[in-house]
Amino acid sequence: MEEQNNSLTESPAEGAFYSQDGSIDEMEIVTVTGQKIDVKKILLEFSYYEDIFSFVVSGYIILRDGLGLIEKLELTGKEFINITFGKAKGLPDRLNNTSTFRIYAIPKRTPGGDNSSEEFIKLYFCSEELMLSEQTKITKSYSGKAIYEIVQDVLLNNLKVKSEKVYIEPTYGLYDFNVNTLKPFETISWVSCYAKPASDNTIGADMLLYETKTGFNFRSISSLMKQPVFNTYTYQPKNLQQSDFANQLTTVLDYEFIKSFNSLEDINSGTFANRLISLDPLNRTVKVTNFDYAKYLGQTGGTSSLATAPNRLGKTQNQSYLGTLKMAVGNSGQKQKEYVQEGLDSLANDIYLETFVPNRTAQLSLATYTRVKIRIPGDSTITVGKTINFNLASLSASNGEKTLDMYNSGKYLVVAVRHIIQSQGAFQTILEIAKDKPKNSYRSIDNSNLNYKEASAE
């Protein structure tokens, strides 16, 4: 057992050994009485997880316990765990900052094989802000506030996050919102639907709140994709993988396409077409707003994920608005009505429901239109929200020369990160990367082809 854990309890000598070396410098449980217990020596596996579509960081540890820790420490779900991890000493991603999380569950506790004096324990942890959000409600009125100011207020004043741990992108417009007994993260989720980035060249409302090891971020997906590339990762068969250490660090060990396309999901999620019916109870009006991917692409530019082919009803996928239908209450144009001018001060600012909601519905789906899971040597500096290049060789040779996949290579957004360190010190990072457009547009189908029309009509 001692030999198995040396790589975790002792820092390796200065310098790099293997691309998958990892080290846990601190792993201690802190009880409600302030007692600290170092569990590095009995650690079997450590897993740390970030997700751009999740509010907080989470993870788990698996321990091999022969001391009766649960009984001795009287673990009840009110404990904390301090964690510091990174590459082995001397490698480029060395981190010395410690993160503190809340232990919230023990879902598994099983005997240790044939040895009845040991047991395996799995402890789940998450950021304390999630626990706090579940334990409180907000009832508050915001008048003439930008949405980023509301998000900032919730984080700093309701969840007591330190200001240096908050990065918020400015948003467009001023709004009036009455928050009626919603949890803090529910409040942020609600107002985010109307949050347009302040940048002039962005469209829609694709703002998300997510946490990384550096803190909370309220960012736009479109602005994240415009960031410089963090690194380039290349997949090669094992017999062709580079032997020098620098290239090993950026080698993709394996990959899996989680989603290339899913036409049924695209229809039900409103990726290429959706319809919003907005009701204005004051004006007693109904407004229908259609999202058309072709028009959206004309505004944003770039390649297209859609092959334009009509169905037997004569409609292309971006014209089938009824696949996703939403209804909401809006206030568009209320202040322009003559009979409400006298009560102008009592009217809420326009939330631009018809402008932002249809776009957000599509944008959150488009953000992960192509989604790939790649496994690389451990790198604790990479976080969700960064962009990377993924080089994937084409399986079709051109004149005997290998080229990159013409659709799936290119720039991706990191939408999920899992760092895993085993007891032997092996450190790997699993990334889920996504993009909304292929590197090159797919061919458009010639709808004037008579044979195609006849086949579609059958």
Instruction: Tell which of 66, 100, 129 closes a domain.
Output: 129
- What is the SS3 assignment for 436? coil
Instruction: Tell which of 318, 338, 364 closes a domain.
Output: 364
Confidence (pLDDT) at 94: 45
Which H or E run contains 72? Answer: helix 69-73
CA–CA separation, 395 and 393 (whole Å): 6
Residue 456 covered by a domain: no
Domain of 97, CATH number, reads 2.40.10.10
The CA R_g of the chain, rounded to the nearest whole Å, is 26
- CB burial readout 389-414, b (16+ within 10 A) else e: bbbbbeeeeeeeeeeebebbbbbbbb
- What is the SS3 assignment for 426? strand
Task: Kindly state whether residues 402 and 380 are assigned to the same domain.
Answer: yes
- What is the SS3 assignment for 60? strand
- Measured in degrees and rounded to the nearest 5, phi and psi for residue 132 equal -65, -40
Would you call 4 exposed, middle or buried from its count of C-beta atoms within 10 A (0-12, 13-18, 19+)?
middle
Q: E strands along 226-342, which residues?
A: 229-235, 251-252, 254-259, 273-280, 285-292, 325-329
Residue with tokens 């022969």: 66
Domain of 195, CATH number, reads 3.55.50.10
Task: Kindly state whether residues 10 and 122 are assigned to the same domain.
Answer: yes
**What single DSSP character describes residue 442?**
P
**What single DSSP character describes residue 399?**
T
Angle at 276 between CA 295 and CA 274, to 5 degrees: 50
Residue 445 covered by a domain: no
CA–CA separation, 274 and 127 (whole Å): 35
Task: Kindly state whether residues 240 and 372 are assigned to the same domain.
Answer: yes
Task: Kindly state whether residues 25 and 110 are assigned to the same domain.
Answer: yes
Task: Kindly state whether residues 356 and 239 are assigned to the same domain.
Answer: no
Q: Position 416: which residue type?
A: A
CA–CA separation, 382 and 456 (whole Å): 48
CA–CA separation, 326 and 262 (whole Å): 21
Residue 95 covered by a domain: yes
Residue 454 covered by a domain: no
Task: Kindly state whether residues 320 and 304 are assigned to the same domain.
Answer: yes
CA–CA separation, 346 and 362 (whole Å): 33
Report the predicted TM-score, pTM, of the whole model to 2 decimal places: 0.87
Task: Kindly state whether residues 120 and 43 are assigned to the same domain.
Answer: yes
Residue 118 covered by a domain: yes
Task: Kindly state whether residues 389 and 406 are assigned to the same domain.
Answer: yes
Residue 450 covered by a domain: no
Confidence (pLDDT) at 240: 54
CA–CA separation, 101 and 98 (whole Å): 10
Domain of 385, CATH number, reads 2.40.30.150
Task: Kindly state whether residues 143 and 242 are assigned to the same domain.
Answer: no
Residue with tokens 């803190």: 215
N residues, the chain = 458
Confidence (pLDDT) at 209: 98
Would you call 336 exposed, middle or buried from its count of C-beta atoms within 10 A (0-12, 13-18, 19+)?
exposed
Neighbours of 264 (CB within 10 A): 8
What total number of domains does the chain contain? Answer: 4
Q: Position 309: which residue type?
A: A
Task: Kindly state whether residues 352 and 391 are assigned to the same domain.
Answer: no
Task: Kindly state whether residues 57 and 148 are assigned to the same domain.
Answer: no
- CB burial readout 198-230, b (16+ within 10 A) else e: eeeebebbbbbbbbbbeebbbbbbbbbbeeeeb
Neighbours of 174 (CB within 10 A): 14
Confidence (pLDDT) at 25: 86
Residue 181 covered by a domain: yes
Nearest residue to 140 (alpha-carbon basis) of 176, 178, 187: 178
Which H or E run contains 151? Answer: helix 147-153
Instruction: Tell which of 129, 154, 179 closes a domain.
Output: 129
Task: Kindly state whether residues 431 and 393 are assigned to the same domain.
Answer: yes
Mean pLDDT for each consecutive 10-residue tract of the chain (458 residues)? 36 52 88 89 94 97 88 86 80 62 90 77 95 96 94 97 95 90 97 88 89 95 93 78 68 92 91 93 88 89 76 86 92 68 62 90 93 93 95 76 84 96 87 89 57 47
Residue 442 covered by a domain: no
**What single DSSP character describes residue 331?**
-
Identify the domain containing residue 248 by its residue range. 227-260+367-435
CB of 431 within 8 A of CB of 66?
A: no
* Cβ-Cβ contacts under 8 Å for 398 (sequence gap 6 or more): none
* Cβ-Cβ contacts under 8 Å for 450 (sequence gap 6 or more): none
